[in-house]
Every structure is written in structure tokens, then in C-alpha cells.
Amino acid sequence: MKTLATERALEVLAEIGFDSVELAVRSGWDADSATLNARRRKTIRERIDQSRLRLTSLMEHVYPTDDRQQAVALDRLKLAGDVAHDLAPEDPPLVQTVLGSGDFQREKTRLRDRLGDWVDLADARNVVIAIKPHRGGIVSTPAEAVWLMNQLGDPARLRMVYDYSHYAFREMPLAETIQTSLPFVAHVAVKDAIREAGRVVFRLPGETEAIDFPQLLRRFFDGGYRGDFNCEVSGMVSNRPGYDSIAAARTCYQNMSAAFERSGVPRPG
């Protein structure tokens, strides 16, 4: 909902019926952590409380792929941690991010060490950072993310984001990726992925029925996961001419609420 003010977006999501919300605090967005002043933080916190939405996540896009990017990442993660406590001091949302591009096997040791700095920051700021394996990214599989966390001693404040759209069409079955990821997952993103003109493209969750979301919900719930299932709108969708963020949110809600009903997994409240 990049074109909407955060306060308006919260009203819309509450009206549609969502249980929770993720805010993009990335550079250039309305809730950019570097420009979100104290007055607006207070207003947004009040709107969240009034809406009864739970703020579960803040989205960043920072990359620890070289020293320069690492410095930017640490600055941005500090800012996001401050926003997390300002908007929900009693239950701060996690901060999630992808990790950029590169060759995992060649860079994994340096990547591990830089993520060690992230763990120190997360401990100091009392916030959870969740890393997202991304199709084509330096970390693109659950096993790679698990290797990093195991190398760092499985820190409580460094967790994983699970998003099956990044594993689809890669001979990575849903059940196997959930089994590998489940002990480390703090946040689940849901969106569709289909093959189109020789490449994988993303769609709104439930639009193509390519991913069995009722099974996904059930497996995570039965495995003990009680975090958010976040409807994520890819830039492949939101950058199309004529994109309507409110219509997209309604489609996401309709499709995922139906998936919850079919799965038998209870929603909050």
C-alpha cells in the first residue's frame, strides 16, 4: 500500500477484517524509519491500538553483502528497532529483511560474521530480526538460512521468514521446506507463484491455487507455530499499471480467510 498514508492503510485493513499488519519501514516508504517523526509515531501507535490490529512485523530491505552495505544495514536496523518499540512497546514487532544477491558457498563465512553483528544489535535493541531466503538471492533455501543460524549458535533474536513462493518450481516440496524451516521460523509470508513465459512470477496469495495454502497453514500450526501469516504483495503486482492497493488487500483477505476455514486453523479472537 505504498501510495497510502500509513494511518489510512491501517483503517482500510481493519475495516476489511485483517487480524494483524506489517509496516514497510524501508527507505522512501510512508513509514520510512529514518523520516517517521515522533508525532507520527504517536499517531500511528494510537491508530493501531484503536484498530485492534496487531503489529507483527516491520519490513526492511538491507544487505550485509559487503562492508559498505553492512554499515547501511546496521544503521537501518537500529532505526527499525526504535520504531518497533515506539509503535508497540509491550510487544515489539520483528524486523524482517532479505539479504541481497551473491554466491552463498563463496560468501557464506563472511555473511555469517556480518550476521553476527546483526545478532549483537538485536540483543542490544531487544528486537528480533528475521532473514528471508529469496529466490535468486545469496540465501535462497531454508537449509542455507539454517546453516547460518546454527553457525551462530541458534540465537533467539535471529530467526527466519518462510515464503514458499521462493521455493516453488524448484523441486522443493512444500512439506519438506516447512519441516526444515519450522524450528527457526518467526514469520510466514504468503503469495502465489506461477510460471509465465519461461520464468516464475508472483501473484496475490490464492489467485492461482498453485500453492496449497490450507496445507501450509495446517502444517505450521500443527508444528507449534503461532506467528503471523502475512499477505505479501510483490512489486511484480504493485508496479503494474492500474494497481489498486485496496482491491488487492480485499482479494488477499478473501483468499486467505477461505484458506483458514478450509485448514481448520483458528485465527486470533
Q: What is the mean pLDDT of residues 185-193?
A: 97
Q: Which distant-in-sequence residues (6+ apart) come within 8 Å of 67 by Cβ?
A: none
The answer to the question of residue 162 being in a domain is yes
The answer to the question of residue 223 being in a domain is yes
Per-residue pLDDT band at 269 (split at 50, 70, 90): low
The answer to the question of residue 63 being in a domain is yes
Domain count, the chain: 1
Domain range for 163 is 6-262
pLDDT tens digits for range 213-225: 999 999 999 999 9
- CATH number at 32 reads 3.20.20.150
pLDDT at 190 over 90: yes
The answer to the question of residue 269 being in a domain is no
The answer to the question of residue 1 being in a domain is no
The answer to the question of residue 201 being in a domain is yes
pTM across the whole model: 0.96
Rounded to whole angstroms, the Cα distance separating 155 from 127 reads: 12
Q: Are 189 and 132 in contact (CB under 8 A)?
A: yes
The answer to the question of residue 228 being in a domain is yes
